[in-house]
Amino acid sequence: MPSYDEIKVYVETGQKDALLAGIHAALDQGQPAQEILQEGLIAAMDVVGAKMEAEEMFIPEVLRAAKTMEAGLEVLRPLLAVGDMKVSGTIVIGTVKGDLHDIGKNLVAMLLSSAGFQVTDLGINVEPAAFAAKVKETGADFVGLSALLTTTMPMMPATISALADAGVRGQVRVLVGGAPVTQSWADEIGADGYASDAGAAIKIAKELGALAG
């Protein structure tokens, strides 16, 4: 039976066949699905997020790792009792109105999901009111706003205003990111967190979630 460290390496390096074989071997040896999930798959994605933030892994490698993790999760999911997969938080994420870019946003959503967050992805060109409505509907505790153009950055404070108008600003932590976005911009518009890349986004979401908890 492979060790959890070996399973983590399979995920990190995108060795899908080796991962699936390792998971089946661990299950055959009586290892709990929940333990394989937490100590192997989710622990691996924590490492992937940290390596991406440190620029030791790049987008193609991170995507491959996330897809490998998802394949492993498909094997484990039927064996997990309801509530076995610890939810780190719930987040509504999207690219702001007027902006059609989604590669970075998709990567953040995938990594958040892999890290145990419950993710609602609204896609691209999302109206401020749509973010607010979805937060009300889902009871989310995070909102992730992505903008890849300087011309669409003003939609971030507009969305924060929409959250306030809907009476839900107090329940959510707003995270912002995208190529033109900076920490000073995040501070200026009253966002709760800024991430320069997907790895940083996972770290900040976890830190803010722990503080809120």
**Are 139 and 90 contacting, i.e. CB atoms less than 8 angstroms apart?**
yes
In a domain, 84, yes or no: no
Range of the domain at 36: 4-79
Same domain, residue pair 203 and 128? yes
Backbone angles phi, psi at 141, to 5 degrees: -110, 0
- Same domain, yes or no: 115 and 10: no
| Global confidence as pTM | 0.78
Both 185 and 136 in one domain: the answer is yes
Contact by Cβ (8 Å): 33, 76 = yes
Same domain, 97 and 35: no
Tell me how far apart the alpha carbons of residues 208 and 24 are, in angstroms, rounded to a whole number: 35
The tokens for 15 are 């060795």
Look at residue 112 in the predicted model and tell me its pLDDT.
Answer: 87
Given 29, 58, 79, the domain boundary residue is 79
Measured distance CA(93)–CA(135) in Å, rounded: 10
**Cα(164)–Cα(17) distance, integer angstroms:** 48
Provide the CATH number for the domain around residue 59: 1.10.1240.10
| Contact assessment for residue 87 and residue 118, using Cβ atoms and an 8 Å cutoff | yes
pLDDT reported for residue 79? 87
Domain count, the chain: 2
| 148-202 residue pLDDT tens | 999 999 999 999 999 999 999 999 999 999 999 999 999 999 999 999 888 888 8
Number of C-beta neighbours around residue 83 at 10 A? 8
106 and 186, same structural domain?
Answer: yes
Based on the domain organization, do 37 and 110 belong to the same domain? no
Quote the CA–CA distance of 196 and 182 in Å, as a whole number.
8
- Of 58, 79, 100, the position where a domain reaches its end is 79
